[in-house]
Structure 1
Amino acid sequence: MRTWLFDLGNSRLKFAPLHADGGIGEVVAVDHDGAGFAAGWEQRMPDRFDAASLASVAAPALRVVLIEALAARCGRLSVACTLARCDGVAIAYADPRRLGVDRFLALLAAHARGPGPSLVVGVGTALTIDLLDGSGRHHGGRIAPSPALMREALHARAAQLPADGGSYAEFAAETRDALASGCEGAALALLERSREAARAMLGVAPRLLLHGGGAAALAGRLDGAEPAPTLVLEGLAHWARMEREPV
């Protein structure tokens, strides 16, 4: 059976084939603006396949567009949702439906990577931080604006402040650099505080897994950070396996 995985986020659609051994093939990324996908997006999708697994946090109307395109190409479609318990992971939220499915899948993937606690960080439109202990228990997390969203918000309120550009410095001497340094620095400080709080709570420092479009800019300034760009798709692969082999 040829299965493809689709991760529809707030600004990009990512998809990849699921291999028979559980691995993920080459990832394709397509931008969207919340209302429509970038031109030519359907031509980048496979013509025909047997099954698809979808995770979506995007607007319902855009999700419908994608589902219609998938229905024309495959015979079986499963849509992932957050569960209170799944594959060894226990979610902290009293109402699991309020935890974004992308965060849920990233936690599944982090747990599957091996023993020990993890601080799972998504850097996209939002900055999300979730703590998972070595037994698979989710201790909750945080949500904040990502550095990119901070820049956009500042630009929206003060057009003279550029929405992008600049380089990180501890004390910048130019406005673009100061903006980059302040917004990235705010995210870095929150991550370091979260890591220290996790270490105090669990008695051991968690590994730091970063995923999302803005992860690379932060990873190099965080000691021990592990880039995990396919983490949500990895979790979706586990979901697809459980759909095929229910336990």
Structure 2
Amino acid sequence: MSDWLFDLGNSRFKFAPLQGVRAGDVQAWPHGAEAMPVAALEALPSGDTAYVASVAAPSLTAAMLDVLQARFRHVRVARTEADYAGVRIAYADPTRFGVDRYLALLAVAARGQAVLIAGVGTALTIDLLDADGQHHGGRISASPTTMREALHARAVQLPAAGGDYSEFANDTADALASGCDGAAVALIERSRVQGGERLGALPHLLVHGGGAPALLPLLGDAEFQPALVLDGLARWAVHQPPSAG
């Protein structure tokens, strides 16, 4: 029987088979698990063990766990740990460090290089990891999409989407795209520079999340890893003791 990985985020539900220490082919549904039709839930895989990461609301997480527990012999939920698989978290209270950020660190720790990780989803998260697996903390901000939605909510004449990036835009939609994308890029770039000063060398830049592709043309040598959280969940899974029963 096969093992599967499930990542329940704030805006997307993603899953993939566990293949060695990585995620296999990823399937994703946008807008969160609450938007899944019954047919989609019934089409979820079944198997031996489901490894789960969730940053969604507790009620939504519980509903998804109920579905998975009916389809798998074992369900294991990832939790942030202070020191695990070579990664040491900077937070004094690891339970306050989001499991998605934690798993992203696990995914890249085996590289043995300093990395700045930027996750672009509902939030923009930034974390610095040195070559020895020590986490140096990070930042959380609104992502460009969330910035646009917040502006639209306060001023409906400002479109919530659309426009193209320009250094000096001459259209409102373009100016919004440029300002919100530019704010995210500036925060990522400043974090990378500051990370380089702390570590003595500029860290490698790695980005993931549904909003990352729009920023890639503005980030130079950034590496895009769309399945980073699931890859980290895979690494977490292979370090777990065997399931009983």
Query: Do these two structures clear the TM 0.5 threshold for a shared fold by scoring above it?
Result: yes
- Partner in structure 2 of residue 6 of structure 1: 6
The question of whether the paired residues in 1 share the 8 Å contact of 2:128 and 2:136 is answered with: yes
TM-score normalized by the length of structure 2: 0.95
Q: Displacement, 1:44?
A: 3.6
Note the aligned Cα RMSD (angstroms): 1.3
Correspondence 1:130 to 2:127: yes
Q: Displacement, 1:245?
A: 5.5
Give, as a single letter, the amino acid of the residue that structure 1 aligns with 2:31.
H
The question of whether the paired residues in 1 share the 8 Å contact of 2:22 and 2:235 is answered with: no
Correspondence 1:67 to 2:65: yes
Q: Displacement, 1:33?
A: 4.8
Offset from partner CA, 1:152-188 (integer Å, 9 cap, x none): 0000000000000111000111111000000000000
Give SS of 1:41's match. Answer: helix
Give, as a single letter, the amino acid of the residue that structure 2 aligns with 1:102.
D
Matches within 5 A, 1:1-247: 1-19=1-19, 21-33=20-32, 36-39=34-37, 40-46=39-45, 48-112=46-110, 114-244=111-241
Bigger Cα displacement from structure 2, 218-227 vs 49-58: 218-227
Q: Displacement, 1:97?
A: 0.3
The question of whether the paired residues in 2 share the 8 Å contact of 1:154 and 1:163 is answered with: yes
Rate the CA distance shift 1:207–1:221 in 2: closer, same or farther, 3 A: same
Cα distance in structure 2, aligned partners of 1:245 and 1:107: 23
Cα distance in structure 1, aligned partners of 2:58 and 2:35: 14
Cα distance in structure 1, aligned partners of 2:149 and 2:202: 33
Give, as a single letter, the amino acid of the residue that structure 1 aligns with 2:117.
V
The question of whether the paired residues in 1 share the 8 Å contact of 2:13 and 2:32 is answered with: no
Rate the CA distance shift 1:44–1:166 in 2: closer, same or farther, 3 A: farther
Offset from partner CA, 1:210-246 (integer Å, 9 cap, x none): 0100011112211210001111001100111111469
Give, as a single letter, the amino acid of the residue that structure 1 aligns with 2:29.
V
Q: Displacement, 1:24?
A: 2.0
Give SS of 1:50's match. Answer: strand
Offset from partner CA, 1:113-157 (integer Å, 9 cap, x none): x12100011000000000000000000000000000000000000
Moved over 4 A (4+): none
Give SS of 1:115's match. Answer: coil
The question of whether the paired residues in 2 share the 8 Å contact of 1:30 and 1:41 is answered with: no
The question of whether the paired residues in 1 share the 8 Å contact of 2:21 and 2:234 is answered with: yes
**Identity over aligned residues, as a percent?**
57
Cα distance in structure 2, aligned partners of 1:12 and 1:210: 17
Cα distance in structure 2, aligned partners of 1:26 and 1:180: 31
Give SS of 1:120's match. Answer: strand
Q: Displacement, 1:52?
A: 0.3
Aligned length: 242
Offset from partner CA, 1:48-107 (integer Å, 9 cap, x none): 211100000001111111101101111001000000001000000000000000000000
Cα distance in structure 2, aligned partners of 1:226 and 1:82: 25
Give SS of 2:6's match. Answer: strand
Rate the CA distance shift 1:33–1:236 in 2: closer, same or farther, 3 A: closer
TM-score normalized by the length of structure 1: 0.95
